């Protein structure tokens, strides 16, 4: 909510979330050489063409690198996420293309207004601080002014088109009540969970069977090619240890970037919000009364942060005791700004009425506009100047090492060690193995894949802080695997197949027994030696032992007491579940949650409609040959992330 509360204009509210995502991707991909230039590689580097725009393999790889670095992809599921990210990126660009084609454009005045909302520090006292400050701010994000403004215009067009598609999302009181019941009614359940693993011990394999399976599939069992190499990881840390920055350089950088160190007047605030949006006049009066009651408690000595956690309806800041950090002029709605900047540290405002509701504001600290002195920013400057030198030096050292490697390994090693770079000797590895000093980097894997023995890679970016050069020292060709090398794999394969067959037969038998036993699940469990478990009353969102959330067996909630649901197939196995007792939701609690549930339902339906809209736009553009997707390149990229 506070993201919306901070943004003063409707246009900004529509754009902010989507634009920041787009800018984040731009910040990543602008670090990649030849980004956006389809001539920099063959067609295998193109994921999709959307109008005149090209989505490249590099762009997807940079997004994957960011997600992996921030641990947002579960280990081992990288190859699952690649097609999802590709689909999302293509759909976003398709909507942007369609919006532009339909004439949705941002005027120059709207562009300026939007940028003022996105980067309020560019305006002081309502006046633009200047193009140089604007350019310097964007340069810190590795973006130019034209590049940023193109992205703003593109995202604005997309957002306006999407808003048309999302108009009319309605949630009725009946919808809210049904959702409350769905979340809060409970059931007491008895259940049986069966999976194929319990039957593995019943499978016996003879030596003759194992030999036969090996002979039948011998051609498919291959030991892949292996390559030994010497890797030269040129890291930021290694290079920075060889560099120094003088005070003269720091003062020169300071004087060239004075605008960067000017800070606007700002206050750090907490607030409690009592929401009045979409409320009746009676509800608004009640909200004002509640705000006044909370203010009395605060002035009587109550803990502001504790009251914010318990009562504030700005759910983004409530969990932090109402803390919304530092704000500058022009960043919040006018009424909030006027109150916040009129208070001294420690003071609390009267209830402030804005378009969002009634706010109680407490100022925690205040800073006047000033130029931060050199001594205060010295270390930040040192880091920035050193980083600039490091990047230049890294590329230079990497190029020198690569050139030396093409002449002599000894010369390359001497040069590397003189620059703080320590070569890593890598024993023969498969193409899918992570490389010491590099990790599992698809760019590097591709660089070494087709080199001959003695071949040297180009300089390859690896991760966010290093460049890598490598030389192939040995190639061990692929060969057929022996029975002993694949024995474990074969045994596991046969056991899995036979256990699955037994499992499916037992599930069919259990299904028939449940039908004949007229719902007596306990009798079926005894007869088949299955373990029967019984829960306490649980809601759909609560956990059931061995299963996960009860939502996964939602169909049992639809039954009448005494009835059995199943077989229900889950990732953990097959479940038969009997409803023993229904515990209806307490509807007296609905009023307290109505606003929260209404908003959640609106957002869910908006997401569903947005997804359908994007899919429809993309399919139409594909049909009209405005979008071309290279499935083979997507598959090739996905395979790079697939676990061996």
CA gap 256, 435 in Å, rounded: 42
Residue 642, pLDDT > 60, answer yes
Burial of 521 (0-12, 13-18, 19+ CB in 10 A): buried
Residue 14, pLDDT > 80, answer no
Q: How confident is the model at residue 142, as a pLDDT? A: 66
Q: Residue range 474-484: average pLDDT?
A: 92
Please indicate whether residue 268 or residue 329 has the higher confidence score (pLDDT).
Answer: 268
Q: How confident is the model at residue 403, as a pLDDT? A: 93
Q: Residue range 608-626: average pLDDT?
A: 85
Residue 207 near residue 410, CB atoms below 8 Å: no
Q: How confident is the model at residue 12, as a pLDDT? A: 34
- Give the single-character DSSP code of 50: E
Q: Give the pLDDT band (50/70/90) at residue 28.
A: very low
Of the ranges 36-40, 143-147, 342-346, 467-471, which one carries the lowest mean pLDDT score?
36-40
Q: Tell which CATH classification among 3.10.50, 1.20.120, 3.90.820, 3.30.200 matches the domain 186-206+486-583.
A: 3.10.50
Q: How confident is the model at residue 430, as a pLDDT? A: 84
The percent of residues in the chain predicted with pLDDT above 90, rounded, is 35
Q: How confident is the model at residue 444, as a pLDDT? A: 84
**Best mean pLDDT range from 146-155, 160-169, 471-480:** 471-480
pLDDT 10s digits, 107-129:
777 777 787 777 777 776 667 77
pLDDT 10s digits, 281-299:
888 999 999 999 999 999 9
Beta strands per DSSP E along 18-71: 46-50, 53-56
Q: Give the pLDDT band (50/70/90) at residue 608.
A: confident
Residue 361, pLDDT > 90, answer yes
Q: Residue range 235-264: average pLDDT?
A: 80
CA gap 613, 158 in Å, rounded: 12
Residue-wise DSSP of 498-542: HHHHHHHHHHHHHHHHHHHTTT-HHHHHHHHTPPEEEPPSB-TTS
Q: How confident is the model at residue 168, as a pLDDT? A: 66
Q: Residue 24: how many CB atoms within 10 A of its CB?
A: 13
Residue-wise DSSP of 391-438: HHHHHHHHHHHHHHHTT-HHHHHHHHHHTT---EEEEEE-TTSPBTTT
Architecture of domain 265-368: Roll (3.10)
CA gap 431, 8 in Å, rounded: 53
CB contact set of 589 (below 8 Å; sequence gap of 6+)? 180, 184
Q: Where in the chain is the domain with CATH 1.10.4030?
A: 2-170+598-641
pLDDT 10s digits, 396-436:
888 999 999 999 999 999 998 888 888 999 999 887 788 88
Q: Residue range 367-387: average pLDDT?
A: 82
Of the ranges 526-540, 543-557, 626-640, which one carries the lowest mean pLDDT score?
626-640
CA gap 558, 525 in Å, rounded: 22
Residue 349, pLDDT > 90, answer yes
Give Cα separations from 588 to 173, 207, 415, 591 (angstroms).
Answer: 15, 68, 77, 7
Architecture of domain 225-244+379-477: Roll (3.10)
Q: Residue 28: how many CB atoms within 10 A of its CB?
A: 19
Q: Residue range 448-474: average pLDDT?
A: 87
CA 105, 109, 114, 115 torsion-angle sign: positive
Q: How confident is the model at residue 474, as a pLDDT? A: 94
Please indicate whether residue 627 or residue 436 has the higher confidence score (pLDDT).
Answer: 627
Please indicate whether residue 170 or residue 399 has the higher confidence score (pLDDT).
Answer: 399
Residue 363, pLDDT > 60, answer yes
Of the ranges 3-12, 446-455, 538-547, which one carries the lowest mean pLDDT score?
3-12
Q: Does domain 2-170+598-641 have CATH number 3.10.450?
A: no
Q: Give the pLDDT band (50/70/90) at residue 7.
A: very low
Please indicate whether residue 73 or residue 502 has the higher confidence score (pLDDT).
Answer: 502
pTM for this model (two decimals)? 0.49
Q: Give the pLDDT band (50/70/90) at residue 132.
A: confident
Mean pLDDT of the chain: 83
Q: Where in the chain is the domain with CATH 3.10.50.40?
A: 265-368
The percent of residues in the chain predicted with pLDDT above 70, rounded, is 91
Q: How confident is the model at residue 165, as a pLDDT? A: 65
What b/e string do you get for 81-108 counting C-beta neighbours within 10 Å, with b at 16 or more? bbeeebbebbbbbbbbbbbbeeebebee
Q: Give the pLDDT band (50/70/90) at residue 347.
A: very high
């Amino acid at each position: 909510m506070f993201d919306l509360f901070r943004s003063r204009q409707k246009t900004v509210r529509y754009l902010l979330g989507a634009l920041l995502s787009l800018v984040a991707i731009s910040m990543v991909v602008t670090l990649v050489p030849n980004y956006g230039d389809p001539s920099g590689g063959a067609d295998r580097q193109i994921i999709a063409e959307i109008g005149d725009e090209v989505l490249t393999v590099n762009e997807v790889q940079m997004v994957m690198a960011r997600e992996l670095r921030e641990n947002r992809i579960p280990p081992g599921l990288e190859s699952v996420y690649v097609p999802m990210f590709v689909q999302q990126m293509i759909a976003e660009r398709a909507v942007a293309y369609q919006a532009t084609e339909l004439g949705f454009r941002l005027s120059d005045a709207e562009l300026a207004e939007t940028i003022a909302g996105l980067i309020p520090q560019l305006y002081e006292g309502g006046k633009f601080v200047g193009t140089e400050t604007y350019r310097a701010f964007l340069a810190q994000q590795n973006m130019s002014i034209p590049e940023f403004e193109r992205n703003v215009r593109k995202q604005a067009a997309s957002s306006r088109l999407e808003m048309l598609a999302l108009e009319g999302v309605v949630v009725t009181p009946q919808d809210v009540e049904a959702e409350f019941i769905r979340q809060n009614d409970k059931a007491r359940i008895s259940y049986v969970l069966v999976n194929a693993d319990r039957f593995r011990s019943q499978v016996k394999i003879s030596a003759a069977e194992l030999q036969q399976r090996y002979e039948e599939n011998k051609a498919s069992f291959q030991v892949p090619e292996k390559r030994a190499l010497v890797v030269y990881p040129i890291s930021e840390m290694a290079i920075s240890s060889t560099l120094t920055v003088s005070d003269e350089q720091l003062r020169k950088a300071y004087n060239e970037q004075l605008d960067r160190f000017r800070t606007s007047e700002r206050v750090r605030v907490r607030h409690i919000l009592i929401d009045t949006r979409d409320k009746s006049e009676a509800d608004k009066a009640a909200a004002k009364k509640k705000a006044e009651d909370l203010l009395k408690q605060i002035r009587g000595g109550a803990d502001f942060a504790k009251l914010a956690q318990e009562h504030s309806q700005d759910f983004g800041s409530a969990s932090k005791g109402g803390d919304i950090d530092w704000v500058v002029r022009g960043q919040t709605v006018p009424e909030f700004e006027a109150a916040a900047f009129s208070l001294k540290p420690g003071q609390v405002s009267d209830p402030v009425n804005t378009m969002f509701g009634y706010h109680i504001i407490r100022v925690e600290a205040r800073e006047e506009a000033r130029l931060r002195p050199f001594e205060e920013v010295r270390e930040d400057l040192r880091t920035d100047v050193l980083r600039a030198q490091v990047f230049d030096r890294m590329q230079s050292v990497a190029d020198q090492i690569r050139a030396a490697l093409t002449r002599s390994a000894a010369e390359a090693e001497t040069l590397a060690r003189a620059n703080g770079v320590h070569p890593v000797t890598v024993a023969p590895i498969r193409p899918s193995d992570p490389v010491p000093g590099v990790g599992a980097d698809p760019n590097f894997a591709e660089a070494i894949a087709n080199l001959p023995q003695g071949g040297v890679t180009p300089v390859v970016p690896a991760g966010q802080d290093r460049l890598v050069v490598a030389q192939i020292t040995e190639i061990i060709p692929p060969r057929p695997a022996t029975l002993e090398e694949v024995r474990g794999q074969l045994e596991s394969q046969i056991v899995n197949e036979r256990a699955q067959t037994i499992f499916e037969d037992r599930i069919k038998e259990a299904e028939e027994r449940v039908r004949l036993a007229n719902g007596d699940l306990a009798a079926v469990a005894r007869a088949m030696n299955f373990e029967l478990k019984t829960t306490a009353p649980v809601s759909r969102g609560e956990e059931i032992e061995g299963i996960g959330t009860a939502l996964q067996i939602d169909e049992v909630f639809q039954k009448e007491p005494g009835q059995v649901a199943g077989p229900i197939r889950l990732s953990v196995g097959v479940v038969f579940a009997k409803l023993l007792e229904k515990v209806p939701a307490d509807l007296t609690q609905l009023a307290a949650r109505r606003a929260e549930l209404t908003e959640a339902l609106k957002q869910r339906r908006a997401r569903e409609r947005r997804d359908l809209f994007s899919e429809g736009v993309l399919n139409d553009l594909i049909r009209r040959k405005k979008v071309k997707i290279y499935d083979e390149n997507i598959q090739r990229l996905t395979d790079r992330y697939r676990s061996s």
